[in-house]
Amino acid sequence: MKEYRVKGLSCGNCALTIESQIKRLEYGETAELHYSTGKLRIDPRISFKAVENILKADRAYIESGHDEHEHKHAGEGHSHDHGGHGHDHGEGHTHSHDQGMAGPIRMLVLSALLFAAGIISGRYGQEALSIGFYLLATGLSGYTTFLRGLRQLISLRFTIDTLMTIALIGAIAIGEWKEATLVAILFGLNELLEGLGMEKARRSMASLLKVAPKEAVRLENGAERVVPIASLKAQDLVIVKPGEKIPSDGIVEDGTSSVNEAAITGESLPVEKTAGMAVFGGSINNEGVLRVRIEKAYEDSSLSKILHLVEEAQETKTPTEQFINKFAKYYTPAIMAAAVLVMIVPPLLGGGDWIKWLYQGLAVLIVGCPCALILSSPIAIVSGITRNARNGILIKGGVFLEQLGKIDTLAFDKTGTLTRGEPHVEQMVVYDETRFYLAAGAIEKSSSHPLARAIMKEISKRGIELPDAEDLRTVAGSGIVAKVSGETYWLGNEQSVAHLTLAPEVKAQIADLKDQGLTLVIVADRNQVLGMFGIADEIREESRSVISELHRAGIRQTVMLTGDHQKTAEKVAAVVGVTSFHGNLLPEDKVRIIKDMAANGHVAMIGDGINDAPALASAQLGIAMGKGTDSAIETADIVLMQDHLGKLPEAIGIAKRVNAVIRFNIAIALGLKLIALLLTIPGWLTLWIAILSDMGATIFVTLVSLTVLISGKRNH
C-alpha cells in the first residue's frame, strides 16, 4: 500500500465521499482515507492522476515534501513508507502550496463586510446595489462549495456540498438574496471552525511525535561523531550530554545523572541513572554526562514503538464511527426526499403557497447536513488517545479506547502487576541471632538466586562482617549444606532440617508462616533450628489504592489470577482488596476463567509476563505493563509504559469521558436538527435558523470533544 498525506479536507463527510469515489476506481477497493490524520492509503497500481482529480474536485490535495518520521513496528516488518514507496508520488508532482486558514478567514471577513453593505444599501432603497453586494458576498464565500456541489449534482452524488448548492440556487431563484448570502457565509464559517477543531486535535497528537531525537553523538575510535538517529546499531556507544535526548534504548556504561522519562512513561519526576541501569530512547538527560551502550536500533526502541502505535491508533474506526458513517450514507438521500415532500405536499394537499413551502424545503436541505453527526466521534477519539499517550498509556486504536470505557470487570495477573515480582523478607523467626545471620549471610552472599538476594538485602541492614562459606553443597529438593567458621549448617526448606526432631513451638511457627502463604528458608546446625525467613513477593504499595479507585470508577469486579499457591493468593487478595481471586492456575486455566467472565460482562486482563499473553489475547481487552515482556506488549491492546498501575484509573476515566462525549455529541447533533425540522410544521423554519442549527451543532460537538484534551479530572 502507498501512503500519502492529504491536505484540505474540510469535513469528515468530505473524507467519506472522497474515499467512496476512490474505491470505485480500478484497484481502489482497499483505499482508506482517514479524516482524523489526513492519511490516504491506496494500492500502488491505482492511477495516481485519477486520485488527484478526485481530490481536486473536493478542494483537497496531496502534500509532498513533508517531514515525517518513519517508524518501523518491531515484529511486523513494515514501515510507513510501505515497501519503499514512501510519500513520493513517483510522477513528478510537487504541491508546495499550503492553503492554511489565513485565506478562508480573509474571504469570510470580506464577505461579511459586503453582506453588511448589502443590508445598508437596501435600507436606503438601493435595491439593485444591495443585490450586487449580496451576490458578490455569496460568490466570495460560497463559490468553492457551489462548484463542488454542482459537479456532484451532475454526477448524482449527494453530499453536504450538493445540499448547500441546491439551497443556494433555490434561495436566489425565489429572490431570497439576503438569506442566500447569510447561508453561504455561515456555511464557510462552519467549515473553517470544523477544520480548526480537527487541526487542534491533530496538532496535539503531532506534538507527541516530535519527541523523537534526530541525531546522536556516537563514539568512534575515541572520537565523537554526530550521526543521524537511523544509523545507530546495537552495541554502538553514544555520549549524551546534559539537556540532550537519549537516542535509543540502552544501558548506562559510565556516568551518573537524572533522566526525564515523561515522554515514555508519562511520569513527571526524573529517575536517577548510574552505570548498569537501563535507559529509554527519547528520554532527556538532565545534568550529568552519560555514556550509553545502545541495545536496540532506533526503529526497535520503546519510543519508536510508542510513536508507531500512537499514529496507527488514530486510524482505526470504532464501532460507533462505523455506524455513523453507514447511517450518513442513507441519511443524506433521506433528507433530500423529506425536503421534496415539504416543498410539494402542503401546496398540493392544503393549497399552501408554493414559494413559502419551496423556501421551507430549502431550509430542510440545510438542516440535513450531516457534518455535526460525523464529527461527533473522531475529535473525541483522537483527544482521548492523545491524553492517555501523554500519561504514558498507549491505546492501539479508537476501538480499544471505546472498549476501555465499557469495561466492568478487570482481571489481574499477580506477579509483576499487583506485586513487584521481587521476593522480600516479610517475617523472620530468630532463635539464635548471632549464628542465624552469620550462617545465612555466609552461605547466600555469593548466590544470585532471587531468594538469596532477598535474604542478603535483609542481612546487609545489620552491617555484619560475613566469613566465606566452605564445602558448599546443593541438595536437590532441599537446600544447601555448607561449613561456616568450621561448623556445618543447613539452609533451605523443611526437607533441609529432616535430620532434626523439631520442637512443638518450631513446628507451630513453620505452620503459621506457611498458612500466611510465605515461602520458608530455614537455617539450622546439627542440633537445632537457628531461625527462619518468611519470604513473599512484595506487594506494590499503590495496588490497594488503585483497586479502590477502580471500584469507585465503576469497575464492578476485580479478579486476581495467579499460578501461586492458594494461600499466597488469598493473602495478596486480602491486602490489595480485589473482589475475588484464583490460585494454582496454569496459563490455560487463566484463559478459561477469562472466557467464562467474558460471557457475563466486559472483561479486561492486565499482565506483564510471557505466560500472560494467551489470557491477554483471550480477553475483550488486553492491557500490558510496559516494562514487561515484548510478547505481552505485542499481544495487548493497551500498554502501560509505567512499571505500576497508578495511571490505570485515570485512563479508564478518560475512556468513559470520551464515550460520554460521543453519546452527548450524537444526541446534540440529532436533537438540534430534529428541533429545526419540527419548526417546518408551523412553517417557522428559515434558512438562517437552519444553517445556525447545523453550524451550532458542529461547533458545539467540536468544542465538547476538545475538552477531553484539557480535562484532568478522573471520571469517578
C-alpha cell at 707: 475538552
| Cα pseudo-dihedral 471, 475, 479, 484, rounded to 10 | -10
Question: How far, CA to CA in Å, does 207 sit from each of 197, 211, 283, 311, 705?
Answer: 16, 7, 15, 12, 18
Q: Which listed residue (236, 300, 413, 694) is catalytic?
A: 413
Question: How far, CA to CA in Å, does 640 sit from each of 210, 226, 384, 408, 710?
Answer: 20, 33, 15, 19, 21
Active site residue 98: no
DSSP 263-280: HHH---S-EEE-TT-EE-
C-alpha cell at 215: 541525531
Residues in the chain: 716
| Region at 318 (left for phi over 0; alpha for psi -120 to 50; beta for the rest) | beta
Q: At what angle do helices 648-678 and 543-552 cross, to 10 degrees?
A: 20
* Inter-residue contact 294 to 240 (CB < 8 Å): no
Question: How far, CA to CA in Å, does 378 sit from each of 11, 34, 61, 381, 383?
Answer: 11, 10, 21, 5, 8
Residue keyed to cell 523472620: 428
Closest C-alpha to 28, from 13, 42, 7, 18: 42
* Inter-residue contact 689 to 363 (CB < 8 Å): yes
Around Cβ 258, how many Cβ atoms within 10 Å?
Answer: 15
318/14 Cα distance (integer angstroms) = 19
Maximum Cα–Cα distance for the chain, whole Å?
A: 120
Residues 199-221: b if buried by 16+ CB within 10 A, e if exposed: ebbbebbeebeebbbeebebeee
Closest C-alpha to 649, from 537, 573, 558, 541: 558
Residue keyed to cell 500466611: 516
* Inter-residue contact 496 to 522 (CB < 8 Å): yes
Phi, psi for 408 (deg, rounded to 5):
-120, -10
Q: What does the DSSP 8-state code read for residue 414? A: I
Position 169, amino acid: I
Question: How far, CA to CA in Å, does 155 sit from each of 148, 150, 159, 163, 624?
Answer: 11, 9, 11, 14, 50
Helix (H, G, I), strand (E, B) or coil at 407: coil
Closest C-alpha to 639, from 315, 407, 308, 321: 308
341/392 Cα distance (integer angstroms) = 54
Residue 521: strand pairing partners:
533
Q: What does the DSSP 8-state code read for residue 370? A: -
Catalytic site residues? 413
